Amino acid sequence: MSAFNFLGDAPSLDDYWRGIVLFGVNVASYKFALAKSLLELAPGGKTLIALDELAEPYARHVLEHLRLCDSQSQQTSAPYPFLEACRQYNRDEISYDQLIGITAKQGLEVVLKKFHNLNSSATPVSFFRNERLGSRARAIVLTDELFRMLEGNQAQNLPAEIEARWRLVETAWELGISRNLIAVDYDAEESLLFVQSNRRVNITSCRSALNGYQKGKCFYCFGEISIISGAEGLTDVDHFFPYVLRNAMKQPIDGVWNLVLACVTCNRGVCGKFAQLPHQRFLERLHKRNEFFINSHHPLGETIKLQTGKSETHRRSCLIGNYNIAKTGRLINSNWQPVFEYPPAF
């Protein structure tokens, strides 16, 4: 299962954007900084953005994250002048104007070329294009596709999704843990994901980390959901296998493998799921969602592997085995389904 499985047969603009952010190469974090900068600049309405103007939010986002986790250089094969300039600025060794100048000249060229790459080829949709003078980009032009995407219902969720992905990648770097060894846990009371190493490290909101892989939709009915605190339609974090089964499951009930985002109606409304077991047809949907994490080379995907199996076959068997345990144990009602479902999103 690849990024193209995530995109599906008729991808939306949101799908292409999330494909780039969630499935693109992330040995370095520059893609995340550029994505956040584009979302920040677009509401201003300008289409032509000079590199000096783009450099300001781009450098600012990298600076903020270097203060949280200064392990970026470990992920690249050679020292990067832009990154060294960011460190110099954080040490008060150069001015902000100097940093912006270095960013515009040396910090953007590679990420601007590679931002739209997905599975070694460019996406058919572009959210900006480079304006060149000679061999170098001098500005970017924001495309209609970016502006149209930001008019949609999911626009408010996208910055938090980028930040969550960025923090999960950085946490492995920060702790010096190989991505295939990192184990992410869930704090149900605070709805947070965290890593327990020598100390507890809070990473990000569970909602922000899961939402992109569900394409901003309720897991059960595919209705629109929000991950913004206080927003109408704020999603619930639901246990697919209900918490009452915690002693019967072979895997941790609070594991990422078992957490999905559900609208309030499906989770606890009239005819809601509550502590019931979903219909067996939803098991394949859960498996597919989990495989999205794994095939995006995401730290949460590695956690799912640790919890449910190294191979796709083992992971599928794990879900089926747990479902059979849940049904035969007769601890809960089974075969719950939502009253209404929108067209499938994944």
Q: Model confidence over 77-105: pLDDT tens digits?
A: 555 789 999 999 999 999 999 999 999 99
Burial class (CB in 10 A: 0-12, 13-18, 19+), 177: middle
User: Phi and psi (nearest 5°) for 185?
Assistant: -110, 165
Residue type, 136: R
184 forms beta bridges with 195
CA–CA separation, 339 vs 222, rounded Å?
Answer: 12
Q: What is the pLDDT of residue 2?
A: 62
214 residue type, one letter: Q
Closest alpha carbon to 238 in 218, 224, 252, 222: 218
* Rounded average pLDDT over 291-307: 91
Q: Which tops the pLDDT comparison, 291 or 29?
A: 291
Residue 305's pLDDT band (boundaries 50, 70, 90)?
A: very high
- Place 137 in a pLDDT band, splitting at 50, 70 and 90: low
Please report the pLDDT score of residue 178 as a whole number.
57
Above 90 in pLDDT, residue 159? yes
Q: What is the mean pLDDT of residues 308-335?
A: 90
pLDDT at 181: 59
What's the whole-model pTM score? Answer: 0.92
Looking at per-residue confidence, does 211 or 250 come out higher?
211
Asked if residues 42 and 150 have their Cβ atoms less than 8 Å apart, the reply is yes
pLDDT at residue 1 is higher than 80: no
Question: Which residues, in sequence order, are CB contacts of 178 under 8 Å at separation 6+?
Answer: 172
Burial tier of 47 (Cβ tally within 10 Å: 0-12, 13-18, 19+): middle
Report the distance separating Cα 272 and Cα 189, nearest Å: 21
For the chain, the three-class secondary structure string (H helix, E strand, C coil) is CCHHHHHCCCCCHHHHHHHHHHHCCCCCCHHHHHHHHHHHHHHHCCCEEEHHHHHHHHHHHHHHHHHHCCCHHHHCCCCCHHHHHHHHHHCCCCCHHHHHHHHHHHHCHHHHHHCCEECCEECCCCCEEEEEECCEEEEEEECHHHHHHCCCCCHHHHHHHHHHHHHHHHHHHHHCCCCCCCCEEEECCCCEEEEECCCEEEEEEHHHHHHHHHCCECCCCCCECECCCCCCCECEEEECCCHHHCCCCCCCCCCHHHEEEECHHHHHCCCCCCCCCECCHHHHHHHHHHHHHHHCCCHHHHHHHHHHCCCHHHHHHHHHHHHHHHHHHCCCCCCECCCCCCCCCC
Instruction: Using pLDDT thresholds of 50, 70 and 90, give the confidence band for residue 173.
Output: confident
Please provide the average confidence, as pLDDT, over all residues in the chain: 90
Q: What does the pLDDT read at residue 177?
A: 60
9, exposed or middle or buried, with CB in 10 Å at 0-12, 13-18, 19+? exposed
Q: What is the CA radius of gyration of the chain?
A: 21
Distance CA 49, CA 67 (A): 27
